[in-house]
Amino acid sequence: MPETSPPQEKKRSFATFDTVVSNIDLLSPRNKGVRFAMPQNSSLAFNAGQYMQVFVPQGGKMRRTSYSIASAPQKNDSFELCVTLVDGGVSSSYIHQLKLGDKVRAMGPLGTFRLKEPVQNDLVFISTGSGIAPLRSMILDLLNRNTDRNIYLIFGNRYDDDILYKNEWESLTKQHPNFKFLFTLSRPTKAWTGETGYVQTHIEPFIRDPKNKDFYICGLIKMINDVQATLLNLGVPKERINFERYD
């Protein structure tokens, strides 16, 4: 079972429906952003941070695989997933071979990983790889709502061309002075002049006064554990640390 931070609300009901692939972007060599249009005259009400389950054909049966919604909840006639191609992976290979107009069965929204409302504190988002998906939805949601809170993103990847939505982050920081990001690479090429190393090594000094901020983390379990340990060492109360793990 995926582990998430403690639920804030009782489970909501969810629905199963047929979507149509309406847009495909190659976001990086191994990541695709795929938009799924909702059936006509219907919309998807979801909270930023939640995930969908996609029905994937496998050996005459269907398996369901979870993918976080990467798009903002304000656009509810469709939802976007951001999927990393895993070698030999059944579901990620299926999503990567989809074409415009393909029909895909989906279920959702699911999950309790979401912003704590009302948003009263500054927020820090930390992710690696496609763990950025639910954090992108949350950050876009906050900026669409014109929050006056400060928003920080620490985004770790292996290589420069793995940085998902790089242009978008750069343009958002120009439009919103309260949004700041830090990219860090674990396997930088010689051309990279930015930060290097793991995300947890950059919490300080990028984040001033971490004790008074709310943290949202998403990615694989090792990164989440490392970040959580660093935050607890810095004196951040456990209840301010929210996370979603992918494995």
Ligand X SMILES: Cc1cc2nc3c(=O)[nH]c(=O)nc-3n(C[C@H](O)[C@H](O)[C@H](O)COP(=O)(O)OP(=O)(O)OC[C@H]3O[C@@H](n4cnc5c(N)ncnc54)[C@H](O)[C@@H]3O)c2cc1C
Give the closest residue to 158 by CA, choosing from 199, 115, 214: 199
Residue number with CB closer to ligand X (68 or 230)? 68
Q: Tell whether omega for the bond before 73 is within 30 degrees of 0, i.e. cis.
A: no
- One of 51, 125, 181, 243 touching ligand X (CB under 6 A): 51
- Check if the beta carbon of residue 202 is closer than 8 Å to that of residue 183: no
Which of the ranges 8-16, 79-87, 159-167, 205-213 carries the binding residues for ligand X, by CB under 6 A?
Answer: 79-87
- One of 26, 62, 90, 221 touching ligand X (CB under 6 A): 90
Residue number with CB closer to ligand X (104 or 133)? 133
To the nearest whole angstrom, how small is the minimum distance from the Cβ of residue 137 to ligand X?
Answer: 10
Those residues whose C-beta lies under 8 Å from the C-beta of residue 154, and which sit 6 or more positions away, are: 124, 125, 126, 127, 181, 182, 184, 199, 202, 203, 206, 207
Distance of CA 68 to the CA centre of its chain: 6
Segment 105-134, which members bind ligand X (CB under 6 A)? 111, 130, 133
The rounded distance, in Å, linking the Cα atoms of 223 and 193 is 23
- Residue 66 binds ligand X, judged by CB under 6 A: yes
- Residue 88 binds ligand X, judged by CB under 6 A: yes
- Residue 65 binds ligand X, judged by CB under 6 A: yes
Residue number with CB closer to ligand X (158 or 208)? 158
The rounded distance, in Å, linking the Cα atoms of 235 and 238 is 9
- Residue 55 binds ligand X, judged by CB under 6 A: no
Q: What is the DSSP string of 99-138?
A: -TT-EEEEEEEE-S----SS--SEEEEEEEGGGHHHHHHH
- Residue 15 binds ligand X, judged by CB under 6 A: no
User: Phi then psi for 71, rounded to 5 degrees?
Assistant: -95, 170
- One of 28, 47, 84, 230 touching ligand X (CB under 6 A): 84
- One of 19, 47, 71, 92 touching ligand X (CB under 6 A): 92
- Total residues interacting with ligand X, rule: CB under 6 A: 21
Q: Where are the beta strands (DSSP E) in 38-102?
A: 51-58, 61-68, 78-84
Residue number with CB closer to ligand X (109 or 111)? 111
- In the block, tokens 């989809």 appear at 98
To the nearest whole angstrom, how small is the minimum distance from the Cβ of residue 107 to ligand X?
Answer: 13
The rounded distance, in Å, linking the Cα atoms of 137 and 68 is 9
Residue number with CB closer to ligand X (92 or 147)? 92
Site residues (CB under 6 A) for ligand X?
2, 51, 65-68, 81-84, 86, 88-92, 111, 130, 133, 244, 246
